[in-house]
């Protein structure tokens, strides 16, 4: 088989699981403990901003001391050493890919470390807790700050850039994602339409496994470094 010349990698919560971050839809996942309609929709935020801030403040605090794992480092190595085009698209709002050294990276569902002002759109690093009485540091309005994350019903970030990369790729790889949330769940069809080979790397088969041309199942910290090694060996 010819080596790839343009790779798009999509990652999901499963790649960060072995770093200690909860996934969403596994048995003990985040959505088994909290109703996503209450904390991950604009309507939920409007109804109870205190609850939503508390949910994300807790998750932001939970990221302290969390370290990237071998799968994050392997993807950063792939970006550095692979000679062709490369784009890493993550659905994750943690910063473990950056911490591992990834640079050609899109956070399509936003970044937990950032605040977003609902009044002026200002987006900036926000280290501590967010609350309803804080003023925006750009426009000064109070009560409009929210975490810079993409909720259900909102448009994910940088979709044009992602679709352009998918249209030009010859290998699409999905790592640690259940493939249940659109538009990310539809990336495989975009890549297939472009004639790309498609590979699922996941702990276990997902509902969409049969849509991929290949699949490798196991822990991300084991199967991602092994796959990267193989790609770089040609
Ligand atoms: C391991 C492992 C290990 C474990 N090693 N693997 C009906 C039909 C179609 C679409 C819709 C519909 N009704 C509504 C929609 C749209 C909606 C949607 O898709 N809903 C579905 C649930 C049906 N989507 C949206 O609203 C999106 N916006 C949108 O569509 O805008 C319009 C648009 C149109 C056209 C083009 C573009 C846009 C926005 C979605 C926003 C999602 N937001 C969240 C929360 C973000 C903030 C936060 O973190 O709180 O994003 S929801 C949550 O799910 C989070 C994740 O990024 C996302 C995906 O989850 P992920 O990463 O796949 O995690 P899991 O837990 O599901 O899976 C983990 C996997 O890892 C599992 O398979 C495990 O086996 C595996 N694993 N350990 C390897 N060690």
Is pLDDT at 1 greater than 80 in this prediction? no
Residues β-bridged to residue 193: none
The CB of 215 under 6 Å from ligand 1? The reply is: no
Q: How high does pLDDT run on average in the chain?
A: 97
Give the Å distance between the CA of 177 and the centre of ligand 1: 8
pTM of the complete model: 0.97
Confidence of residue 232 (pLDDT cuts 50, 70, 90): very high
Q: Would you say how long the chain is, in residues?
A: 234
Q: Is the pLDDT of residue 145 over 90?
A: yes
Ligand 1 contact, 44 CB (< 6 A): no
Q: Indicate if ligand 1 lies below 6 Å from the C-beta of 225.
A: no
Instruction: For residue 50, indicate whether it is catalytic.
Output: no
pLDDT on residue 196? 98
CB atoms within 10 A of CB 140: 10
Per-residue pLDDT reduced to its tens digit, 168-227:
999 999 999 999 999 999 999 999 999 999 999 999 999 999 999 999 999 999 999 999
Annotated catalytic residue: which of 50, 95, 109, 217? 109
Closest CA to 87 of 71, 75, 72: 75
CB 190 within 8 A of CB 163: yes
Task: Determine phi and psi for 176, rounding to 5 degrees.
Answer: 60, 40
Ligand 1 binding pocket includes 203 (Cβ within 6 Å): yes
Does 45 score more than 80 pLDDT? yes
Mean pLDDT on 33-48? 98
Taking the C-alpha atoms of residue 121 and residue 9, their distance in angstroms, rounded to an integer, is: 29
Per DSSP, the residues of 183-224 read TGGGHHHHHHHTT-EEEEEESS--TTGGGSSEEEES-HHHHH
Residue 60 Cα to ligand 1 midpoint, Å, equals 19
């Amino acid at each position: 088989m010819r080596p790839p010349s343009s790779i798009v990698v999509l990652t999901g919560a499963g790649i960060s699981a072995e770093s200690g971050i909860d996934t969403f839809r596994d048995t003990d996942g985040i959505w088994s403990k909290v109703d996503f309609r209450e904390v991950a929709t604009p309507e939920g935020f409007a109804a109870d901003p205190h609850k939503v801030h508390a949910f994300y403040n807790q998750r932001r605090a939970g990221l302290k001391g969390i370290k990237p794992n071998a799968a994050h480092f392997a993807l950063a190595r792939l970006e550095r050493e692979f000679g062709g085009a490369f784009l890493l698209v993550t659905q994750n709002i943690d910063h473990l890919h950056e911490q591992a050294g990834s640079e050609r990276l899109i956070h399509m569902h936003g970044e937990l470390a950032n605040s977003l002002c609902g009044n002026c759109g200002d987006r900036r690093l926000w280290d501590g807790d967010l609350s309803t009485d804080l003023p925006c540091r750009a426009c000064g309005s109070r009560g409009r700050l929210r975490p810079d994350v993409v909720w259900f019903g909102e448009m994910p970030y940088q979709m044009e850039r992602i679709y352009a990369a998918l249209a030009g790729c010859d290998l699409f790889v999905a790592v640690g994602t259940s493939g249940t949330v659109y538009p990310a769940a539809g990336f495989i069809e975009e890549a297939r339409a472009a004639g790309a080979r498609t590979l699922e790397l996941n702990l276990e088969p997902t509902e969409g496994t049969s849509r991929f041309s290949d699949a490798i199942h196991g822990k991300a910290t084991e199967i991602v470094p092994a796959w990267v090694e193989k790609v770089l060996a040609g």
